[in-house]
Every structure is written in C-alpha cells, then in structure tokens.
Amino acid sequence: RKEVEQDPGPFNVPEGATVAFNCTYSNSASQSFFWYRQDCRKEPKLLMSVYSSGNEDGRFTAQLNRASQYISLLIRDSKLSDSATYLCVVNALDNYGQNFVFGPGTRLSVLP
C-alpha cells in the first residue's frame, strides 16, 4: 500500500461547482498534514496546512480524520484559476522526522 493515496482524477467541473478531494495515509503516527497546489510545469506551492479540528481559508476547507487516516479538501464556488493538480502531503517518520511524503496528486480542471 502506498504511504499516501489520492483520488486518481481528473476532476472536470463547471465554474461555481463544489468539489472535494480525498486522501488517505498509511502511517498512523504521522503528525503534520498539508495540501499543496501545483500548476502545470510549475513547482508545488503550499495551499494550506490541515489541522485536527479542520480549518478553512476562504473557499477552501480542509478536514482531518485521524481515526480513519483520511484527509479531505473542499473547494467551494470553483474558479477557472483553481485548475491545477492538488497534492496531499504527510510528514514521514524518518531518522529526523523532517521529511514529507507526497501523494500522486489529483488534477482539477474548472471549465467555463
């Protein structure tokens, strides 16, 4: 089983739609969780951290379910500019506890 798995996508949605991405992770001891966004042929950029109580940033809401080892990202009122690949990221438990494991990403296309 891969350490971090995501919805395979792609997701094609109309402008204004609500879309949700799911992510599962295998290591129950993981402590830090993030969503990154990657535009085509660009570097990944941090979208938001994911906190145990859930958190919201404008149109974006992230949820964490530790019992199920599941993370989600909800995007409301989708914009054309939201088209990108969304990466789920979990910290790895290596020698120094500093590394991150990236999911393969879910591609989103918001259509006019």
Partner 1 sequence: NAGVTQTPKFQVLKTGQSMTLQCAQDMNHEYMSWYRQDPGMGLRLIHYSVGAGITDQGEVPNGYNVSRSTTEDFPLRLLSAAPSQTSVYFCASSYGQGVGTFFGQGTRLTVV
Chain positions contacting partner 1, by CB under 8 A: 4, 31-32, 34, 42-46, 49, 87, 89, 91-92, 94-105
In the bound complex, what is the minimum distance in angstroms from residue 98's beta carbon to partner 1?
5
In the bound complex, what is the minimum distance in angstroms from residue 16's beta carbon to partner 1?
29
Question: Smaller CB distance to partner 1: residue 43 or 81?
Answer: 43
In the bound complex, what is the minimum distance in angstroms from residue 62's beta carbon to partner 1?
13
Question: Smaller CB distance to partner 1: residue 16 or 97?
Answer: 97
Closest to 57 measured CA to CA, from 72, 74, 44? 74
Exposed / middle / buried, residue 80 (Cβ in 10 Å: 0-12, 13-18, 19+): exposed
What secondary structure letter does DSSP report for 51?
A: -
C-beta neighbour count of 95 within 10 angstroms: 7
